Homo-oligomer: A and B are copies of this chain.
Amino acid sequence: MARDAATTRARILEAATTEFAARGIAGARVDRIADLAGCNKALLYTYFGNKEQLFDAVFAGLVRRLVVDNPIDAEHLDEYAGRLLDYNAAHPEIVRLALWDRLERDGAGMRSAELLATDAAKAAAIAEAQSRGVVSTRFSPETAMGLITVISSMLPFVQPADGARLRAAVTTAVDRLLR
């Protein structure tokens, strides 16, 4: 076994992502994560503290990547929503983890100063686009963001297996709502 702390940490995070996405915090089993990561259970505790802190690490990492990989484009919110949809299709764990976080911890993982700041920045970008007349003022910037989130992230969740038609529906909906 490659004795390398960084690699082992990464393997644990990957295994934990799978397990937490599938079963949530209460349903996840520490032994299952260790088995999947191919390492001893005790390492989870030396590297991450405990089960919930491991969830924190997993979730914070994925959310950070989601935010970095999907910068907002307030001029073309429909395409932004389409890209979010594609991203969620390619990384189905993220939406599931976010839902577990809301349900099991009242959204504790979404309240980091960092994430609140990027949320505020997105709202500001929309507000600015509204002031220039590029985006409709029908909705507040915050509500507009909420609508985009809900349509791009939750619609495939309540309507599974819709495929290519779904993407058209998402961009059409966002265009219709916010232009």
Contacts of A159 in B (CB 8 A): 142-143, 146
In the complex, chain A residues 119-161 whose Cβ is within 8 Å of any chain B Cβ: 138-140, 142-143, 146-147, 149-151, 154-155, 157-159
Tell me, in angstroms, the Cα distance from A173 to B176 when the chains sit together.
9
Contacts of A166 in B (CB 8 A): 143
Contacts of A162 in B (CB 8 A): 142-143
Binds B, one of A48-56, A60-68, A77-85, A97-105: A97-105
Tell me, in angstroms, the Cα distance from A96 to B147 when the chains sit together.
19
**Contacts beyond the supplied A143-B165, A146-B159, A151-B151: 9 A-B pairs with Cβ under 8 Å:** A23-B104, A24-B103, A99-B103, A138-B176, A146-B158, A147-B151, A147-B155, A149-B158, A173-B177
7 A-B residue pairs with Cβ-Cβ distance under 8 Å, sorted by A, are A24-B24, A96-B103, A99-B99, A143-B159, A147-B151, A154-B154, A176-B177
Report the 5 A-B pairs with minimum CB-CB distance, sorted nearest first. Answer: A26-B27, A146-B159, A26-B26, A154-B154, A143-B169
